[in-house]
């Protein structure tokens, strides 16, 4: 009970993985470490087990985020260490409040077959690497069998939203990383010429031709910006500013979502922030390619972006896209010369400094949807809630599944592109939870891609989905 209270307090202050790393560091020099650390006799049958092949315990403590060069075969021992306990299927046990909304994996929830859950993915990897599921311990050498993926196999791999719900449960309890194993599996499929899906090829062509997955013309990247609003364009090289607003592709090209970028700019201007945008020079961060499995393609965009961003003399980069922030923080940050923040982090800072003072009373009950890339990937849970608390007349009523236990809307990971019906089903499931557990008809979020997917499902339900930037601006204007 004491450890549970400590965990709840720590994750609120430092985020999920921040607390996890700090707690494990405290245990390193204690006998208690034996209960938590791989490498001791009896741990899944591996007397000399390392957390991941080639990575010792200390490297794990400093690790979070993307795969950082790991391959599918690096997850071989993790796959054999899976006890099929199914902890990855559900919301944290002591935070479950109903059987109706206790699953955390959208694909497992929808298709109800073991391979769609985290433990099933590990068994698939065992079979793929060693060609045999009858072994309880790994053979001395992987068999690396010749493999032709079936349609069902690819469906199982690519209906995973890589939301991290499974890993948020399994990593803290069993030290395993099922989500990252799936990412490595996708990368292996792409490198082997067996992935991604045909439906994803259009995204890759758009990236090659237009530098964005939507296929929007480069010249149209700033069409979302109203003519009456004047903003510096740092990409031209003639203007400078300490802060860059990195708009992202969805808010720039998807018309119903473009108001998110406009509201963000209005909030920054209201606070007197000296900032600019890249304009037509902005490139996709590469998140789409990374999640689908084309790491080499992603790295090309990362390198191009790093060259642009590091030559601007920036102090801070802010973005309103959850996919962009998780990519920038985990894949770019150690090579960037400035801090990287999601707009909710930055706006929370401005509010605490008194530079933004919400004044208009909105009088509404709302619930908040935690985007996976903002929450589980980056540990950003309190800033959006603090912003909502600062707006007069706004009452936040929480759903059952929130923070690390948030239920993914299934927009990401290439799922909405390849399986739009499943993405809509998951979004409908999330909105049903919102209505039934809170009574709210308005869902607030901080991710343009989540908003697009949730909005499609909200229309027949006569519910409304709105970005937090717009809600704040409504209280300011």
Q: Where do runs of H (alpha helix) occur along 131-274?
A: 151-158, 165-174, 178-191, 198-210, 249-253, 258-270
What was the pLDDT predicted at 334? 84
Angstrom distances, CA of residue 74 to CA of 66, 78, 103, 171, 242: 14, 8, 28, 16, 41
Q: Give the mean model confidence (pLDDT) for residues 188-200.
A: 90
Checking if the pLDDT of 400 tops 50, the result is yes
Q: Among 44-58, 313-327, 383-397, which stretch is predicted with the lowest mean pLDDT?
A: 44-58
Distance CA 63, CA 58 (A): 9
Q: Give the mean model confidence (pLDDT) for residues 32-52.
A: 38
Of all residues in the chain, what percent carry a pLDDT higher than 90?
A: 59
Q: Confidence class of residue 258 from pLDDT cuts 50, 70 and 90?
A: very high
Q: Among 71-75, 234-238, 357-361, 365-369, which stretch is predicted with the lowest mean pLDDT?
A: 234-238
Checking if the pLDDT of 274 tops 90, the result is yes
Q: What is the mean pLDDT of the chain?
A: 84
Checking if the pLDDT of 71 tops 90, the result is no
pLDDT tens-place string over residues 457-469: 999 888 999 999 9
Checking if the pLDDT of 17 tops 60, the result is no
Checking if the pLDDT of 52 tops 50, the result is no
Q: Confidence class of residue 80 from pLDDT cuts 50, 70 and 90?
A: confident
Q: Confidence class of residue 54 from pLDDT cuts 50, 70 and 90?
A: very low
Distance CA 198, CA 419 (A): 12
How far is residue 96 CA from its own chain's centroid?
22
Q: Confidence class of residue 24 from pLDDT cuts 50, 70 and 90?
A: low
pLDDT tens-place string over residues 310-319: 999 899 999 9
pTM, two decimal places: 0.83
Q: Give the mean model confidence (pLDDT) for residues 211-232.
A: 91
Q: Give the mean model confidence (pLDDT) for residues 241-263.
A: 94
Checking if the pLDDT of 76 tops 80, the result is yes
What was the pLDDT predicted at 390? 94
Q: Which helix (H) or strand (E) holds 390?
A: helix 382-390
Determine how many CB atoms are found less than 10 A away from the CB of residue 263.
Answer: 24
What was the pLDDT predicted at 453? 94
Q: Coil, helix or strand for 233? A: strand
Distance CA 442, CA 470 (A): 13
Distance CA 107, CA 359 (A): 42
Residue 352 in tokens:
């605490």
Of all residues in the chain, what percent carry a pLDDT higher than 70?
A: 83
Residue 419 in tokens:
């399986």
Q: Confidence class of residue 82 from pLDDT cuts 50, 70 and 90?
A: confident
What was the pLDDT predicted at 137? 58
pLDDT tens-place string over residues 404-444: 899 999 999 999 999 999 999 999 999 999 999 999 999 99
Q: Give the mean model confidence (pLDDT) for residues 89-104.
A: 84
Distance CA 367, CA 369 (A): 7
Set out the domains of the chain in order of their start, with CATH numbers: 38-191 (no CATH), 213-351 (3.40.50), 356-476 (3.40.50.11810)
Checking if the pLDDT of 146 tops 60, the result is no
């Amino acid at each position: 009970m004491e450890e549970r209270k400590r965990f709840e307090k720590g994750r609120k202050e430092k985020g999920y993985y921040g607390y996890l790393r700090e707690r494990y560091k405290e245990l390193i020099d204690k006998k208690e470490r034996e209960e938590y650390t791989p490498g001791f006799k009896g741990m899944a049958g591996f007397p000399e087990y390392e957390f991941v092949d080639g990575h010792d315990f200390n490297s794990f403590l400093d690790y979070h985020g993307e795969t950082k060069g790991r391959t599918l075969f690096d997850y071989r021992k993790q796959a054999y260490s899976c006890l099929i306990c199914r902890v990855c299927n559900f919301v944290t046990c002591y935070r479950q409040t109903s059987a109706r909304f206790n699953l955390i994996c959208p694909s497992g929830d929808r298709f109800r077959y073991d391979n769609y859950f985290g433990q099933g993915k590990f068994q698939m990897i065992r079979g793929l690497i060693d060609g045999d599921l009858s072994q309880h311990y790994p053979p001395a050498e992987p068999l690396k069998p010749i493999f032709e993926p079936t349609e069902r196999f690819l469906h199982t791999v690519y209906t995973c939203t890589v939301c991290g719900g499974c890993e948020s449960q399994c990593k803290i309890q069993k030290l395993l990383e099922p989500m990252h194993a799936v990412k490595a599996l996708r990368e292996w499929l792409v490198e082997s010429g067996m992935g991604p899906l045909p439906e994803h090829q259009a995204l890759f062509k758009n990236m090659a031709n237009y530098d964005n997955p939507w296929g929007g013309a480069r010249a149209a990247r700033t069409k979302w910006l109203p003519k009456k609003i004047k903003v510096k364009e740092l990409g031209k090289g003639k203007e400078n500013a300490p802060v860059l607003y990195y708009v992202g592709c969805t808010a720039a090209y998807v018309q119903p979502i473009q108001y998110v970028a406009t509201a963000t700019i209005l909030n920054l201007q209201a606070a007197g922030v000296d900032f600019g945008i890249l304009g037509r020079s902005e490139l996709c961060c590469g998140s789409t390619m990374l999640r689908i499995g084309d790491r080499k393609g992603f790295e090309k965009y990362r390198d191009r972006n790093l060259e642009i961003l590091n030559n601007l003399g920036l102090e801070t980069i802010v973005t309103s896209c959850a996919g962009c922030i998780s990519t920038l923080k985990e894949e770019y940050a150690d090579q960037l010369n400035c801090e990287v923040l999601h707009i909710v982090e930055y706006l929370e800072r401005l509010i605490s400094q008194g530079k933004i003072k919400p004044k208009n009373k909105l009088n509404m009950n709302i619930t908040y949807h935690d985007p996976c890339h903002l929450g589980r990937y980056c540990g950003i849970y309190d800033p959006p809630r603090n912003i909502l608390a600062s707006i007069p007349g706004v009452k936040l009523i929480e759903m059952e599944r929130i923070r690390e236990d948030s239920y993914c809307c299934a927009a990401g990971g290439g799922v909405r592109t390849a399986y739009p019906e499943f993405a809509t089903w998951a979004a409908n499931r999330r909105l049903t939870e919102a209505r039934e557990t809170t009574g709210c008809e308005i869902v607030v979020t901080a991710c343009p891609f989540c908003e697009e997917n949730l909005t499609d499902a909200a229309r027949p339900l006569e519910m409304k989905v709105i970005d937090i930037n717009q809600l704040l601006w409504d209280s300011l204007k």
